[in-house]
Structure 1
Amino acid sequence: MQKEIEIAISPERIEDSSYILHLGSKGLQIKLDRIKGFKIRKRSIDARSKHVVFRARVIFYIDEEPLTEIFNTNFQYVHNSRPVIIIGAGPAGLFAAIQCIEKGLKPIIIERGKRVQDRRRDLAKLNREGIVDEDSNYCFGEGGAGTYSDGKLFTRSNKRGDVDKVLKLFVAHGANEDILVNARPHIGTNKLPHIIEAIRENIIKYGGEVLFDERVVDITTDKNQVSGVLLASGEQVKSNHVIVATGHSARDIFTLFHKNKWLIEAKAFALGVRIEHPQSIIDQAQYHCEICSEHLPPAYYSLVEQVNGRGVFSFCMCPGGVIAPCATAKNEIVVNGWSPSKRNNPHANSGTVIQINLEDVPGSDSNPFAMLNFQQEIEKRAFEAGGGHLVAPAQRMIDFVEGRISKDLPENSYKPGTISADLTQILPKFVYEALRGALPVFGKKMKGYYTNDAILVAVESRTSSPIRIPRDKDTLQHPEIKGLYPCGEGAGYAGGIISAAIDGMNCADAIN
């Protein structure tokens, strides 16, 4: 017999199996020796009161031994099967490939960047010297933007598809089973590369192909039916089905569509800064403690406020994290955040952004590149204010709100370096005015948040794609080109690892 109950566990006892069994015996009002084991189904932190606890939904096995859950994949050998070209090896592309294999289709992944381990040298050079490799950076390469920029698996995309299947596939390829349990699952940048490698090896093992350092320069058609792709090397790859899963920063793909006179459209996105605090400030605010328990994980936050009719909100919050340079071309500054699996760095950072609507940018109703051009202009301003080598313009929080250039900047995690600057010279007026209105209010919502110990680093601009590639809601194909499947963040249909993976699987399922 199995029974599930909710129990509260103190942080110090969260790994104490005997104690959890004792709580189960007490909660179920049965003798301890009748409980043969337990399984935590879901776990979250409850910090609403002074005494922080873990809330856990636990299945207790009464008078029977626990069952070991085995996740069975339906992989088939597909080497000689009908091919499907997948452009991009991010989460959308990789999970589209897995789903193709389950359907008996042969995936051929084409990735402009390098293998996940080879990207490390380019990222080290990016951080150390401020030199951007336009095909190998935090956005491009095996695993996509999520691999080296965090690995958070929290999503609200349950209605889009099978979240549990995505999580279980990650576990099957080496992720810790905790991601199946925690309310805010997180793999960590240090662990994701090995998992991505395992996924690639499985794709190849079952007959798929993965091509690296290959940029797609054209998608070929025959009477409005996809026929394959042309690579920069001159090689042609043939297929009647192409999934475009290139991510939010593959601007050349948008240009390719426009050159071919295929429909694309401007899309709203969010823009702002990345804000970093000492992690201790966030812990004290969220856990209501002066010296917080070492058994509690670094705290996160989620903040939102309306200012002048605009929503200002935190985005991609990274406890114990690092601010990373995520430019994909020369002469631009883009920042993002990531965390290792232990989230043990001394800082906490989060994007804090404002929605940029089509009516904010002249010409967006007629020019599909208007929002992208607007995005690029802000990124170039940030680069110029930094003075080169990816040094980022920054300001202390209260100085920014009160209109002072900071005399100095706090220690921070951004490796290429920061320089004191007036961020109002970089951000649009309606963006910095909304930020100035929201930050003091955030300080009232969360004690200690509004402080000059916090730094604002510009510019957070790649929250989502500024262009959407439209598709039919039923077939998921481009409305003008049969067999062409716009997919994931780059096409405007996802926002994060899980939703991108789900969209990849959905596109593969749409292939008949």
Structure 2
Amino acid sequence: MRKEINLQLSPEEAYSEEIFTPIALQKAGVSGSQSNVYVRQTRRSIDARGRRVKVNVAAEVFVNEAPKPMLDFHHDYPNVKNEDQIIIVGAGPAGLFAALRAIELGVKPIVIERGKDVRGRRRDLAAINKEHIVNPESNYCFGEGGAGTYSDGKLYTRSKKRGDIRRIMEILVAHGATEEILVEAHPHIGTNKLPKLVAELRESILQAGGEVLFDSKVVDFLLDGNEIKGVTLHNGEKIMGKGVILATGHSARDIFHLLHAKNILIEAKPFALGVRIEHSQNLIDKIQYNCEIDRGPYLPAASYSLVSQSMYQGKQRGVFSFCMCPGGFIVPAATSPGELVVNGMSPSRRDSKFANSGMVVAVELEDLPQYQKYGPLAAMMFQAEVEQKAWEHGGKTQTAPAQRMIDFTQKKVSSSLLDTSYQPGLNAVDMHEVLPQFISERLRQGLLDFGKKMRGYLTNDAQLIGVESRTSSPVRVPRDKETFEHPVIKGLYPCGEGAGYAGGIVSAAMDGERCAEKLIAQYVKS
């Protein structure tokens, strides 16, 4: 017999198995003395809207019946070593999941990654943090697993129309993620566990006969009229395939320049730009959980989501939190020397004493009239210019410009800055001089509004660290809504965040799978 139950519990009741099990059995009307009884949670979400935090739990109770495994996915991939091959440019979530789906469909993927494998990336990340040296091919954005490898590892998405979220989760569990991600309403993996998981995904590709090429930068597309036949690498090697999935991420500016130079249709795209805001995690916990001292041993580090509308010169734009990292760190995410970019990441336990979030302002193309001369690269060139300005204000190193929050709203340079998780260090400046005025003024209005919506949030015990500019791609590579193929270049499948069709690990992974399916149906299995 199997029973489904729903409970609203205290954090201790929900997260302590010893306490939860008898409560669940009582709710199901099952005697705890029975020997052949099994209880498991299937869904868990936190409700912190009231004075006391509650946890909503869905669970299954099995009596005299063996529970079915939570994991339905089995990665018994066929060997595709000698099959037709497709090219996948980029080994981020979109590229890796496109490769695995190609293998399932009996096609050999060749994954081409400009950066290093996860182990090799570590030395380059250390060089950014400690020596302020940016390797343009290996950094927090480029390398195996893409930007997602060194991130919070959030696994929730609103892009449910694009594919099977549960399937993506199960593939991640099959490659090393904990089954908890199948239960939590807002699951995450953590930057300390993502590298090993990414390496396992690569191993599945290799064992099935696929190829993964590291330190291999695509410098040209091989075109025959309006059809793509392959790519050229930086060492002159040419790789041919039945089609090309372009999954290069939102920071591969050289690819956007290459597409534009070859007259391959691309478009400027709105994005968002702002700063990272860092509070103490304890302060965010107190605000969100209504606790006086700390959140206790059962509740996870609290997060927040804020959104507002601000006016500037008669135009309304959104101001919103982005990629909030509870218990996390701020990291240097530049991809070239001479620029400064910050991003956030969290370990699996989210046990840092800091909380950080992007706080950004929507940038529309009409906000950038002086950049229109760059055509489809207009937003990208604006983005790059702001990053270069941040680098200059930081002292022309990876030291980041920063300002306390109330000081920013009052346009006053901070006399001192707070402790920070950002390893390269901070330099006190007026962030209004770093950010364009239409960004800084809207951000100032937004922060004042957030101080009313989330009391205690607006404080000089928090600081702005800039700039957060890689929120999404400033360029869209267009594709047909049904076929996913580029409208002009046959065999080219723009994919994931870099092409403007995803916004995180899960949505990028789903988009990668769909692109592989569409390409293979059209050019391999037709």
TM-score w.r.t. the length of structure 2 is: 0.95
Match of 2:268 in 1: 266
Map of 1:314 onto structure 2: 321
| Structure 2 counterpart of 1:29 | 29
Aligned to 1:12: 12
Counterpart amino acid of 2:28?
A: L
Post-superposition offset of 1:447: 2.4
Residue identity in the other structure for 1:191? K
1:338 maps to 2:353: no
1:302 pairs with 2:296: no
Q: Residues of 1 paired with 2:134 and 2:69: CA distance? A: 47
Corresponding position of 1:453: 461
Query: How big is the shift at 1:28?
Result: 2.6
Amino acid at match of 2:430: D
- State the Cα distance separating 1:18 from its structure 2 match: 4.0
| 3-state SS of paired residue (1:32) | coil
Other-structure match for 2:213: 211
Change (3 A) 1:295 1:63: same
One-letter identity of the residue aligned with 1:404:
K
Matched with 1:146 is: 148
Checking the alignment, whether the CA contact within 8 Å between 2:15 and 2:298 is kept in structure 1 is no
* CA distances 1:312-353 after superposition (whole Å, capped 9, x unpaired): 100000001000100001111100000000111100000000
SS at match of 1:219: strand
How far the C-alpha of 1:366 sits from its partner, in A, is 7.4
Q: Counterparts of 1:325 and 1:51 in 2: how far apart (Å)?
A: 37
Q: In the alignment, does 2:63 pair up with 1:42? A: no
Which 10-residue stretch deviates more, 15-24 or 286-295?
A: 15-24
Equivalence map 1:458-497=2 (5 Å) = 458-497=466-505
* Two-structure CA RMSD over aligned residues (Å): 1.4
2:381 pairs with 1:378: no
Residue equivalent to 1:354: 361
Is the 1:266–1:364 contact (alpha carbons within 8 Å) kept by the matching residues of 2? no
- The CA distance in 2 between the partners of 1:280 and 1:433, in whole Å, is 29
1:399 aligns with 2:425: no
Q: Structure 1 runs of 4+ off > 6 angstroms?
A: none
Cα separation, 2, equivalents of 1:315 and 1:404: 25
Which stretches in structure 1 are left out of the alignment for 5+ residues? none
The answer to whether the aligner puts 1:235 opposite 2:261 as a matched pair is: no
Q: 2:323 matched to 1:323?
A: no
Please state how far the C-alpha of 1:245 moved relative to its aligned partner. 0.3
Deviations 1:174-224 (A, max 9, x none): 001111111111100000000000010110000000000010011102132
State whether residues 245 and 486 of structure 1, in contact with CA within 8 Å, keep that contact through their aligned partners in structure 2: yes
Distance (whole Å) between structure 2 residues aligned to residue 206 and residue 404 of structure 1: 59
> In the alignment, is the contact (CA less than 8 A) between 1:220 and 1:226 conserved in 2?
yes
Deviations 1:236-273 (A, max 9, x none): 11112100000000011111111111101100000001
> In 2, distance between residues paired with 1:509 and 1:365?
37
* 2:377 equivalent in structure 1: 369
Secondary structure of 1:271's counterpart equals strand
Aligned equivalent of 2:287, options 279, 285, 294: 285
Q: CA deviation at 1:15?
A: 4.1
- Single out whichever of 159-168 and 62-71 deviates more from structure 2: 62-71
Aligned twin of 1:181: 183
The residue identity in structure 1 corresponding to 2:324 is: M
- 1:69 maps to 2:108: no
3-state SS in 1 of match to 2:203:
helix
Q: For residue 86 of structure 1, give the secondary structure of its aligned residue in structure 2.
A: strand
**Residues 274-307 of structure 1, C-alpha deviations (whole Å, 9 max, x = no match):** 0000001000000001122122111000001111
Amino acid across the alignment from 1:172: A
Q: Secondary structure at the match of 1:404?
A: coil
3-state SS of paired residue (2:275): strand
**CA deviation map 1:127-151 (0-9, x unaligned):** 0011100000000000000101221
Q: How many Å separate the matches in 2 of 1:258 and 1:15?
A: 53
2:320 and 2:209 map into 1 onto residues whose CA distance is 44
Q: Quick one: which of 427, 451, 454 aligns to 1:419?
A: 427
Q: In structure 2, list runs of 5 or more residues that go unmatched.
A: 522-526
Aligned equivalents of 1:138, 1:222: Cα separation in 2: 35
For residue 337 of structure 1, what is the amino acid of its counterpart? G
Distance 1:9 1:39 in 2: 15
After TM superposition, give the deviation of residue 20 of structure 1 in Å.
2.3
Deviates more, 1:284-293 or 1:132-141: 284-293
* 2:25/2:61 contact within 8 Å kept: no
User: Identity rate of aligned residues, in percent?
Assistant: 55
Aligned partners of 1:149 and 1:324 also within 8 Å: no
How many residues matched?
512
SS of 1:39's partner is strand
Q: Is the 8 A contact 2:14 2:57 kept in 1?
A: no
